[in-house]
Structure 1
Amino acid sequence: MKFEIERNELFQNSQENKMTFEQAFERIIKFMNLDRNGNFRLMIGTDSQVHDKYTRFITGIVILNEGKGAWACIRKIVIPKRMKMLHERISKETSLTEEIVSMFTEERKNKMIDIVLPNIYRGASFTMEGHLDIGAGNRNKTRIFVAEMVERIESMGIEPKIKPNSFVASCYANRFTK
């Protein structure tokens, strides 16, 4: 079976549409430069929703300065197929998160680290997380995929987060999948 994927390589938020990744990255740098002494968490996560004739995937990028605000954007991808198999969908969500994480090259990560580095001894920090819309609880159907997906995120050199700590996937991105 052949199907076309509607890929929107552009990012958007409530203020801007059609941002390239480079533009989104520059917004992140601008946000971080507002408080070079901040505690920054760069979080990336994907959620999906199966609709009648397609499955919508939303990947969120959030840069949070703990206690002082955040900047965020999303990317939407629509696959014109009902992806009913849970493992297939969770794996695709993880792949889309990995894709965005890989756009944060060493050079880009170093640019973010360089913002806080002079202020590390004053409490500044920077971490990068991959948020997975899965949970380990007994009642969670995705619990059997936790080890596999967590390992995939860890292999990218970032910290994996699962429910209830994966709010970029389970809350922010989820809002836009409907």
Structure 2
Amino acid sequence: MRKFPVFNDKFQNLTEKNMSFEDVFQHIIRFMQSDPTGNYRLMFGTDSQVHKDDTRFITGIVIQRERKGVWACIRKVIVPRKMTNLHERISFETTLTEEVVSLFTEEKKNRLIDIILPNIYRGASLIIEGHIDIGAGRKNKTRKFVKEMVSRMESIGVEPKIKPESFVASCYANRYTK
């Protein structure tokens, strides 16, 4: 049995498997170039599910052109043990999101900005968000981690979103953790 997480550097979606990060980045570039006047949201989020012998983590990357479509993919990481400690699991989800966000270096972010920059005065925009699968509701078990995880997203320069606005983690990634 493996003692360490099975890190996967490949991404996939419904139409493509085994994409490198560079493949993912090129998809995002082409998606944005198809309408450089669009309002874009580049969103990242991770969800997890404890299974019989392991814990599965799915990180989603979603580029959305508001009211005009999306392109998305996921990356899977498997930890070969049951991670039952909620703080450990939420923290690891946030770490995996941070890891994928870090692949978007300043150079790569500038390439995305350069696509929309000539159209800023025509309404073009790009927002980068980190979706965290936690909520601040009184009955939510994860509410005590909100400040910590939100601070982590802010520290890497992404706009944090928690439930109910964190749909990349709580809906898109969640779908693939089962």
Measured against the shorter chain, the TM-score band is: over 0.9
Which residue number corresponds to residue 128 of structure 2? 128
TM alignment of 1:14-163, pairs within 5 A? 14-163=14-163
**TM-score normalised by structure 2 residue count:** 0.98
SS, match of residue 11 in structure 1: coil
The alignment partner of 1:7 has SS state of coil
Q: For residues 124-161 of structure 1, what are the alpha-carbon distances to aligned partners after superposition, in whole Å with 9 as ceiling and x for unaligned?
A: 00010000000000011000000000000000011000
Secondary structure of 1:136's partner? coil
Give how far 1:5 is off. Answer: 1.6
Letter in 2 for 1:135: G
Task: Output the CA distance in 1 between the equivalents of 2:21 and 2:139.
Answer: 37
How far did 1:4 drift?
2.5
Q: How many residues align?
A: 177
**DSSP-derived class of the 1:151 partner:** helix
1:171 corresponds to 2:168: no
CA drift of 1:3 comes to: 1.0
Inter-partner Cα distance in structure 2 for 1:158 and 1:79: 26
The structure with the greater share of residues assigned to strand is 1
Aligned counterparts of 2:111 and 2:15: Cα–Cα separation in 1: 24
Task: Calculate the TM-score normalised by the size of structure 1.
Answer: 0.98
State the Cα RMSD in Å: 0.7
Distance (Å, rounded) in 1 between the aligned partners of 2:13 and 2:74:
6
Question: For 2:28 and 2:15, how far apart are their aligned partners in 1?
Answer: 14
Q: Secondary structure at the match of 1:134?
A: coil
Structure 1 unaligned regions, length at least 5? none
Identity across matched positions, percent: 66
What one-letter code is carried by the residue in structure 2 that aligns with 1:155?
S
Deviating runs (4+, > 6 A) in structure 1? none
- Distance in 1, Cα, partners of 2:4 & 2:124: 45
CA distance in 2, matches of 1:175, 1:117: 34
Q: Which amino acid aligns with 1:57?
A: F
